[in-house]
A and B are shown apart, each in its own frame.
Chain A
Amino acid sequence: GAVVSQHPSWVICKSGTSVKIECRSLDFQATTMFWYRQFPKQSLMLMATSNEGSKATYEQGVEKDKFLINHASLTLSTLTVTSAHPEDSSFYICSARAGPNTEAFFGQGTRLTVV
């Protein structure tokens, strides 16, 4: 399958600071990338869908001003958690796909801990 890489794998930050997570498709061009959040022992909850060159589509209840998503190129999307708080601590996972009728491949995830 195609390779999707996330960076960093884990990050610890202080409350009130911002953290940026990168998602890269290494061997294909991703027209769409998805960002998920996963709490312990729970399923993946979609936060937003981003298409290259356009604004992200956020799911209901997800604050777009807090979770900034940028999909500036066909191989890179970033998620920035602004003014992070301890309740933002979670496992964040991205996935990327080449087109609407192709399947998405997942990154390895980023463990965010806000202290």
Chain B
Amino acid sequence: GQQLNQSPQSMFIQEGEDVSMNCTSSSIFNTWLWYKQDPGEGPVLLIALYKAGELTSNGRLTAQFGITRKDSFLNISASIPSDVGIYFCAGRLSSGTYKYIFGTGTRLKVLA
């Protein structure tokens, strides 16, 4: 099935560092979302973006909807150990079943 490309695939960082990850697509999306998945759990919605160029924050998380509508970025500031997990981007289709296309995921590990 179709997937969005995320990078990096995985990253190890020190506690307190800032983290950046991005998501790119060959198709345009009108809605971009970022989720976090802990081991053995379902994804949890972190941020939803609805407008090209939009910059939205949720605590230490900031996400941007790329101006071309083909990419999105997620930044985590001052990382803490509980930030560990897998981060997925997703694009939501604007017609048909309005389904979500998920990214390949970025696995984050925080070293205390």
Contact = CB atoms under 8 A, between A and B. Distances in A.
Interface stretch (A11-19, A43-51, A69-77): A43-51
Interface string B42-79: 11110010000000000000000000000000000000
Nearest to B9: A41
A43 B48 contact: no
A11 to B, nearest CB: 14
B42 A108 contact: yes
B111 to A, nearest CB: 20
Interface footprint category on A = 20 to 34
Nearest to B92: A103
Contact of B45 (A34, A57, A103): A103
Contact of B98 (A1, A41, A91, A101): A101
A6 B42 contact: yes
Interface residues of B, number: 23
Contacts, number: 57
A13 B99 CA distance: 30
Interface in B14-61: 33, 35, 40-45, 48
B97 A107 contact: no
Contact of A43 (B42, B98, B103): B103
Contacts of A41: 107
Interface in A80-110: 91, 93, 95, 100-101, 103-109
B7 interface: no
Contacts of A59: 1
Nearest to B33: A103
B98 A44 contact: no
A44 B99 contact: no
Contacts of B92: 103
Given A61-B1, A93-B42, 17 more contacts: A4-B42, A32-B98, A41-B107, A42-B105, A44-B43, A46-B102, A49-B97, A57-B97, A93-B43, A95-B100, A103-B33, A103-B48, A105-B45, A106-B35, A106-B43, A108-B41, A111-B40
9 contacts: A6-B42, A43-B88, A43-B102, A49-B97, A103-B45, A103-B48, A103-B92, A104-B100, A107-B42
